[in-house]
Chains A and B, each alone.
Chain A
Amino acid sequence: MRSLTTLRRVLLGSATVAAVLAGALAGAAPATAASPSPSPSVTAVPTAGTTTVVQATADCAVTPRIACVRGALRDDNGNGVKGVTIRLDGASGATASAVSNAAGAFVFTVTKGGTYRITLVTSTLPKGIKPLAAASRPIPVTLGQLQPAAFALKGTFKGSQTTSGPSTSELHLVLDQISGGLLLGLLLALASIGLSLIYGTTGLSNFAHGEQVTLGGLLAWLFAVVLGWNFLLACVVTVLLCAASGYLQDRFIWGPLRRRHLGLTQLMVVTIGLSLALEYVFQYFAGAQVHPVTTSIQINTGPLDLTPNAYLAMLISIVVLVAVGLLLQRTRIGRATRAVSDNRPLAAASGIDVDRIIRLVWTVSMGLSGLAGILYALVYGGINWSTGQAVLLLLFAATTLGGLGTAFGALIGSLIIGLVVQVSSLFLSGDMRYATALIILILVLLVRPQGILGRRERVG
């Protein structure tokens, strides 16, 4: 019986991926693809004024003039709690009530910013469930932003299905982390291949690489959310712009500095300065808040803790990574790139235009990092100016583990780091899981400093 249920969920999940892909190919923003969960039932209470400021809606799309407040109610088994009333009150008497759907989700669309009070109507909670904290609290609502509003609950309702005994639910948890780790690993791989190739062809550790990831996410936010473009178009333009930023960087900064024979240590400090400047340029123009790249809300589908967007992101990453791999293995230019990465003077002596290859590497790497940024924002709910900082450390851990300068090493390293970081979140709270990446980094340097695929003579 249980296996049948699982099978159904798997089928549902893959059907959703197909639906998302069909939607994406048809040119619609993937996030608007229908989710299989039923819509929340809506009871909008009209407000005193002529225009409705707060409304309970089935779905909500963030635009510069609209804010979304959303949350989900789950019991101890992780099942959605249905039929609970949640009220959102504004300062000027604006109010609306939403009733949670079968997945426990509720959504409000708000058209005026300010501080609101969100209230869980405890009398509508099913028997056996109690709120863990205060049932009412003020929340800030800013137009153009998504405001999460969860209520922690305790207990289970009657008929709440346990996934089964504790052992299976632990297994489920581990599977969730593994799939999440795979996702993180694939996203990291997109960015770390570029980092590794730049290191291989120029010897430079680019400390501004994380900011290129941020750039991708923020540009996608600008086009898709602020300007309201079609999502796919926004993605394509973003990746092209990021690639162009790589080309221009090499044309105007790194190329001339190579010709001036600036030392690698100095170059590294230049990338540090660039990273700092870019971070605060982002903050100057985009502020410090987290910006989403899509405007609608998704609910997990399939047996795993993954949204349709996450499946889509994995698929795109795999396609792009395979394409890059084929490019490196099968084409002339790919072979030339690997030759330069292997031994620059020898490649130059055998007639390869090293400068052209390096420019190409910068261009492609930055395009890939931009794509990684878009997908990161798509999967993890948004991106802000400092996302690149956190990602950079994982990227360095991944490239070092795989072997600095090797593209395929970066891929393997990224998958391992993604898995380890995600699985360690079972034991470590919050950002502490990043510490595991550092421990791996130090162990690798102690035991095998050249990394998994690196060669010994690379290390001085």
Chain B
Amino acid sequence: MDFLVGLFTDFGQQILSSVTAAFAIAAIGLNVHFGYTGLVNIGQAGFMLIGAYGLAITVEVGGGFWLGVLIGLVGAALFALVLGLPTLKLRGDYLAIVTIAASEIVRVIGDNQSLSQWTGGAAGIAGRVYQGAFTALSPFPANQQFQVGPYTYPLTEGDSWFLRIVCWVVLAIVAVIVLLLMRSPWGRAIRGIREDEDAMRSLGKNVYLYKLQALMLGGVIGAIGGMLYVLSANVLADSLGRTTTFLLYTCLLLGGAATVFGPVLGSALYFIVIIGLNDVVAQFVPPQIMNEQQIPQFGWIVVGVGLMLLVIFRPQGILGNKKELAFGD
């Protein structure tokens, strides 16, 4: 009984956390690419990383929080432009190859020691360097704990209620914007491109331009997710590698691609599964079979196999509509 209470307390804590919201936002960005436009972007983690570095480095050199946000967003938009210009006129594979390569390059450059005076190299940028600029915006009193049910967090500092509220409000805003956009003529056009590019072209639409806009929009949303993610963590290039992108795909396809709430549901479910796995294994599986180090590795195997099975057997996920997901083949 105690075990179950602990388990569900852990679930609640994880669902409320800023990391879940951040991943959900990045998954919404990926949804704009993959779910709505049919673009296979395997470098969403690169967009997140650019957002995170843009914010952290700008604050570090004294540029202030809002300028940092702006630079992160502009950086992600430019990144999308550079990747999209040469590839979006070609077959979908080329975008996939270039995005996965580019996001790895961003990670490698972030890791590289020669730029460590800005990026911190492999050690990254510690959260305290830039998080102060964010907590300074908090309307709540400093140095106070606040309890809701079983959860107690500081009101302002670090992994706080303030951060949680901001993350979920931003998530709601992003979701509403995407919802409205997809109901607009622009949204119908990009969904049309996903279904049949040639048909859209024959209607006089500039398919290339629409794809480029969608790539930039989704990338910018990904950068927002990256910024919110590092507000409760450090900026570490290796923490946002290509496994993060794969994870976002799993979240997206689990919840349902081409739906507004699919990515949010998928991210929440993913974290529930991982926490559940962690707690159950730690409780019931002897360490000879699976030790502490192997639990997260097993979790990743589950994510990979889960992604394969989802695509093969239920590509529409939980909330999606199978008819809407022909994947344009």
Residues in chain A within 8 A of chain B (CB atoms)? 199, 205, 207, 257, 261-266, 268-270, 272-281, 283-284, 389-390, 393, 396-397, 400, 404, 429-432, 434-435, 437-438, 441-442, 445-446, 449, 459-460
A269–B40 contact, CB under 8 A? yes
At the interface with chain A, which of B72-80, B103-111, B154-162, B274-282?
B103-111
26 contacting pairs across A/B (C-beta < 8 A): A262-B311, A262-B329, A264-B93, A270-B308, A270-B312, A272-B246, A273-B304, A273-B305, A275-B246, A279-B300, A396-B101, A400-B97, A430-B111, A430-B113, A432-B114, A434-B104, A435-B105, A438-B101, A438-B102, A441-B98, A442-B83, A442-B98, A445-B94, A449-B90, A459-B90, A459-B91
B312–A435 contact, CB under 8 A? no
Interface size class on chain B is 35 or more
B100–A266 contact, CB under 8 A? no
Alpha-carbon separation in the docked complex, A268 to B91 (Å): 13
Which residues from chain A contact B126 at a C-beta distance below 8 Å?
none
Which residues from chain B contact A199 at a C-beta distance below 8 Å?
93
A265–B328 contact, CB under 8 A? yes
Q: Which of B119-142 contact A (CB under 8 A)?
A: none
Given contacts A283-B297, A441-B98, A445-B87, contact A268 B305 (CB under 8 A): no
Q: How far is the CB of B124 from chain A (nearest CB, A)?
A: 16
Alpha-carbon separation in the docked complex, A281 to B102 (Å): 26
Q: Majority SS of interface residues in chain B?
A: helix
Alpha-carbon separation in the docked complex, A314 to B96 (Å): 31
Given contacts A431-B111, A441-B97, contact A276 B243 (CB under 8 A): yes
Alpha-carbon separation in the docked complex, A400 to B253 (Å): 28
Which residues from chain B contact A397 at a C-beta distance below 8 Å?
101
Given contacts A268-B40, A446-B86, contact A429 B112 (CB under 8 A): yes
Asked if B168 is at the interface (CB within 8 A of a chain A CB), the reply is no
Asked if B327 is at the interface (CB within 8 A of a chain A CB), the reply is yes
Asked if B63 is at the interface (CB within 8 A of a chain A CB), the reply is no
Given contacts A265-B38, A445-B90, A459-B90, contact A280 B105 (CB under 8 A): no
Nearest residue, chain B, Cβ from A281: B301
Asked if B249 is at the interface (CB within 8 A of a chain A CB), the reply is yes
Alpha-carbon separation in the docked complex, A11 to B88 (Å): 53
A441–B101 contact, CB under 8 A? yes
Nearest residue, chain B, Cβ from A393: B101
Q: How far is the CB of B91 from chain A (nearest CB, A)?
A: 4
Q: How far is the CB of B81 from chain A (nearest CB, A)?
A: 12
Alpha-carbon separation in the docked complex, A34 to B175 (Å): 67
B329–A400 contact, CB under 8 A? no
Q: How far is the CB of A244 from chain B (nearest CB, A)?
A: 20
Q: How far is the CB of B243 from chain A (nearest CB, A)?
A: 6
Which residues from chain A contact B109 at a C-beta distance below 8 Å?
432, 435
Which residues from chain A contact B102 at a C-beta distance below 8 Å?
438
Which residues from chain A contact B112 at a C-beta distance below 8 Å?
429-432
Nearest residue, chain A, Cβ from B111: A431
Nearest residue, chain B, Cβ from A434: B108
Which residues from chain A contact B246 at a C-beta distance below 8 Å?
272-273, 275-276
A435–B90 contact, CB under 8 A? no
Residues in chain B within 8 A of chain A (CB atoms)? 38, 40, 42, 82-83, 85-87, 89-94, 96-98, 100-102, 104-105, 108-109, 111-114, 242-243, 246, 249-250, 253, 294, 297-298, 300-301, 303-308, 311-312, 315, 326-329
Q: How far is the CB of B66 from chain A (nearest CB, A)?
A: 31
A272–B113 contact, CB under 8 A? no
Which residue of the partner chain, among A205, A265, A280, contacts B300 with CB atoms under 8 Å?
Answer: A280
A400–B94 contact, CB under 8 A? yes
B301–A445 contact, CB under 8 A? no
Given contacts A262-B312, A284-B294, A435-B105, contact A442 B86 (CB under 8 A): yes
Which residue of the partner chain, among A205, A262, A273, contacts B96 with CB atoms under 8 Å?
Answer: A205
Nearest residue, chain A, Cβ from B38: A265
A277–B42 contact, CB under 8 A? no
B304–A278 contact, CB under 8 A? yes
Alpha-carbon separation in the docked complex, A429 to B121 (Å): 12
Which residues from chain A contact B89 at a C-beta distance below 8 Å?
449
Q: How far is the CB of A396 from chain B (nearest CB, A)?
A: 5
A276–B100 contact, CB under 8 A? no
Which residues from chain B contact A273 at a C-beta distance below 8 Å?
246, 249-250, 303-308, 311
Which residues from chain A contact B114 at a C-beta distance below 8 Å?
429-430, 432
Alpha-carbon separation in the docked complex, A207 to B243 (Å): 13
Which residues from chain B contact A449 at a C-beta distance below 8 Å?
86, 89-90, 94
Alpha-carbon separation in the docked complex, A276 to B101 (Å): 16
Which residues from chain A contact B305 at a C-beta distance below 8 Å?
273, 277
B97–A396 contact, CB under 8 A? yes
A265–B301 contact, CB under 8 A? no
Alpha-carbon separation in the docked complex, A279 to B299 (Å): 12
Which residues from chain B contact A284 at a C-beta distance below 8 Å?
294, 297-298, 301
Which residues from chain B contact A268 at a C-beta distance below 8 Å?
40, 93, 96
Which residues from chain B contact A278 at a C-beta distance below 8 Å?
304
Alpha-carbon separation in the docked complex, A389 to B104 (Å): 9
B300–A276 contact, CB under 8 A? yes
B304–A277 contact, CB under 8 A? yes
B327–A263 contact, CB under 8 A? yes
A277–B312 contact, CB under 8 A? no
Which residues from chain B contact A435 at a C-beta distance below 8 Å?
105, 108-109
Q: How far is the CB of B67 from chain A (nearest CB, A)?
A: 27
Given contacts A263-B326, A265-B92, A434-B104, contact A276 B40 (CB under 8 A): no
